Amino acid sequence: MTVSPASADLDTFAAAARDFLDANAAARADATTWGVGDDSMSSYARRSPEQERERIEHGRAWKQLEFDAGFGWITGPRERGGAGLTADHARLYLELRALYDVPSTNMYTISLGMVAPAILDHGQPDIVDHYVTAMHRGDILGCQLFSEPGAGSDVAGLTTRAERDGDEWVINGQKVWTSEAHHADVGLLLARSNTDAPKHKGITAFAIPMTLPGIEVRPLTMMTGGTEFNEVFFNDVRLPDANRLGAVDGGWGVAISVLMNERALGTGDAFGLRRAVERLRMMASMPGMRGDDPVIRQQLAAIVCRAECIRYQALAADTRRKAGLPPGPAESVFKLANTEALRLVAKVAGEMLGPLAIADTGAWGTYAWADMILTVPGMRVAGGTDEVMRNILAERVLGLPKEP
């Protein structure tokens, strides 16, 4: 059963979603059972080249299947292959899908949460036609080319240059910490196009094919052994002006909308918080895991409360979107709240496990936490550091004086 205009009713839509999921996936065996299923806790696990290829291939095949059944772009316009339904439908589908054992689609988080919306909102018609629907179907993958060695949280400090040459731009510079760049087909690039203008006003945004001559991608190995992040070099890369997003020197407006979308990703479970909290609760019931320690129980209660607050904040954010309000600086609270909650999760998991967190005994659900414990520090930096999030909330939401 595929999604149709008749599926607008949430109950009818849920029935259609269950039919699709039942026909194409098995129910998750490890949702509530300790010792059953995959115990991995990392988004950035070490993988062999073969495992990496399988990850991408399986994720792409699932996205294509999902899209063709009407569940790949639930809120998207019908004329572009979307279902034309609401954020409530999209959230309901994700909640139902979480109950099934489906291939990971984490590689599409940035592609669909940031790159596709930027191209749809700011791209010229031919570029929108070429990329947006294909990205939602999973045929192509996007990456975000913002951060540089000298411009991380201060994106406006970037130095990658875009120099106009007739109907083309010549790109030179370097980006870093670019998720999935080694698999990406298109990148959302910010480059300095006017060195005489104030730094926020001399930037232009582009949709850049990652196969153009002069682009070099080098994977970076993280503490976990994973290689999702990359550094990207541009050496005299020539790009048509048709690939420009928004006005010349108007890229900061594109960047702000993308960054707010990035921080709003936390309104779902992009960070894996819900799964981590459930695993902690399960672990607390196991012998030898200090689940009866009052200090541990108090910390677990605090984490569960934080997770529930984040869930309710997500519902409020959905309400704002339904009212037609764009993401704003308040979305920074989701990124900050998620990473702070995950920091506490990693801390409590380490206290409960002790040496089992760093010594692989083969016991299910123990050493698997090591990858997550090593991943959390990076989450507190990626997408804007915790300190930058606090400054945004203090200055732009609470109206406090700016940082000296």
| Domain carrying residue 186 | 142-250
**pLDDT number for residue 262:** 53
Do residues 234 and 275 both lie within one domain? no
Q: For residue 136, is it within any domain?
A: no
pLDDT exceeds cutoff 90 at 383: no
Q: Taking the CA atoms of 254, 256, 258 and 261 in sequence, report the sign of the dihedral they define.
A: negative
* Rounded CA separation 157/42 (Å): 31
Do residues 92 and 22 both lie within one domain? yes
**Lowest model confidence (mean pLDDT) among 31-45, 193-207, 296-310:** 31-45
pLDDT exceeds cutoff 50 at 191: yes
* Rounded CA separation 262/265 (Å): 5
DSSP code at position 211: T
Percentage, residues of the chain above pLDDT 90: 55
| Sequence-ordered list of residues with C-beta below 8 angstroms from that of 322, at least 6 positions apart, any chain | 86, 87, 88
The domain that holds 384 is classified in CATH as: 1.20.140.10
pLDDT exceeds cutoff 90 at 396: no
Helix (H, G, I), strand (E, B) or coil at 395: helix
Per-residue model confidence as pLDDT tens digits over 226-247: 888 899 999 999 999 999 999 9
Q: For residue 257, is it within any domain?
A: no
The two most distant CA atoms of the chain are separated, in Å, by 71
**pLDDT number for residue 266:** 43
From 50, 74, 104, the end of a domain falls on: 104
Do residues 226 and 277 both lie within one domain? no
Do residues 351 and 308 both lie within one domain? yes
Do residues 62 and 165 both lie within one domain? no
Q: For residue 95, is it within any domain?
A: yes
* Rounded CA separation 180/52 (Å): 11
* Rounded CA separation 205/244 (Å): 6
Could you tell me which of 403, 359, 369, 367 has the C-alpha nearest to residue 41?
Answer: 369
- Which residue pairs from 132-135 have beta carbons closer than 8 angstroms and sit at least 24 positions apart in sequence? 132/80, 133/73, 133/80, 133/81, 135/108, 135/111, 135/186
Of 79-88, 118-127, 364-373, highest mean pLDDT: 118-127
* Rounded CA separation 87/390 (Å): 28
* Rounded CA separation 310/304 (Å): 10
Looking at every residue in the chain, the average pLDDT score rounds to 88
**Lowest model confidence (mean pLDDT) among 55-59, 102-106, 150-154, 172-176:** 150-154
Per-residue pLDDT, averaged over 64-71, amounts to 96
Contact 202, 248 (CB under 8 A): no
pLDDT exceeds cutoff 60 at 60: yes
**pLDDT number for residue 28:** 80
Of 31-35, 235-239, 312-316, highest mean pLDDT: 235-239
Q: For residue 121, is it within any domain?
A: no
From 194, 219, 250, the end of a domain falls on: 250
**pLDDT number for residue 267:** 43
Q: Which residue type sits at 256? A: I
Percentage, residues of the chain above pLDDT 70: 93
**pLDDT number for residue 133:** 97
The domain that holds 196 is classified in CATH as: 2.40.110.10
Do residues 235 and 277 both lie within one domain? no
pLDDT tier for residue 317 given thresholds of 50, 70 and 90:
confident
**pLDDT number for residue 2:** 62
Per-residue model confidence as pLDDT tens digits over 253-310: 998 878 766 544 544 565 678 888 988 999 998 988 998 999 999 999 999 999 999 8
Q: For residue 115, is it within any domain?
A: no
Do residues 246 and 274 both lie within one domain? no
Do residues 301 and 379 both lie within one domain? yes
pLDDT tier for residue 97 given thresholds of 50, 70 and 90:
very high
More confident residue, 226 or 68: 68
Is beta strand 186-192 parallel, antiparallel or unpaired with respect to 142-145?
A: parallel
Per-residue pLDDT, averaged over 49-72, amounts to 94
pLDDT tier for residue 325 given thresholds of 50, 70 and 90:
confident
Task: Produce one character per residue of 70-99: b if its CB has 16 or more CB atoms within 10 Å, e if not.
Answer: bbbbbebeeeebbbbbbbbbbbbbeebbee
Q: Residue 391: CA atoms inside 13 Å, Cβ hemisphere, count?
A: 10
Token match 């409020």: residue? Answer: 316
Q: For residue 112, is it within any domain?
A: no
pLDDT exceeds cutoff 80 at 20: yes
**Lowest model confidence (mean pLDDT) among 123-137, 191-205, 216-230, 329-343:** 329-343
Do residues 151 and 239 both lie within one domain? yes
Contact 112, 140 (CB under 8 A): no
| Sequence-ordered list of residues with C-beta below 8 angstroms from that of 324, at least 6 positions apart, any chain | none
Q: Which residue type sits at 317? A: A
**Lowest model confidence (mean pLDDT) among 17-26, 82-91, 180-189, 244-253:** 82-91
Q: What is the DSSP string of 21-67?
A: HHHH-EEPSSSS-TTSS-----SSB---HHHHHHHHHHHHHHHHHHH
Do residues 393 and 272 both lie within one domain? yes
| Number of domain units in the chain | 3
Do residues 232 and 280 both lie within one domain? no
- Burial of residue 290, with CB atoms counted within 10 A of its CB: 0-12 exposed, 13-18 middle, 19 or more buried: middle
Count of other CB atoms within 10 angstroms of residue 378: 17
Q: For residue 18, is it within any domain?
A: yes
Per-residue pLDDT, averaged over 316-323, amounts to 75
* Interior angle at CA 9, CA 6 and CA 10, nearest 5: 130
From 250, 281, 300, the end of a domain falls on: 250
Tokens of 176: 């870093």
Helices and strands per DSSP (H, E), number in the chain: 12, 10
Q: Which residue type sits at 234? A: F
Do residues 165 and 45 both lie within one domain? no
Helix (H, G, I), strand (E, B) or coil at 358: coil
Q: For residue 65, is it within any domain?
A: yes
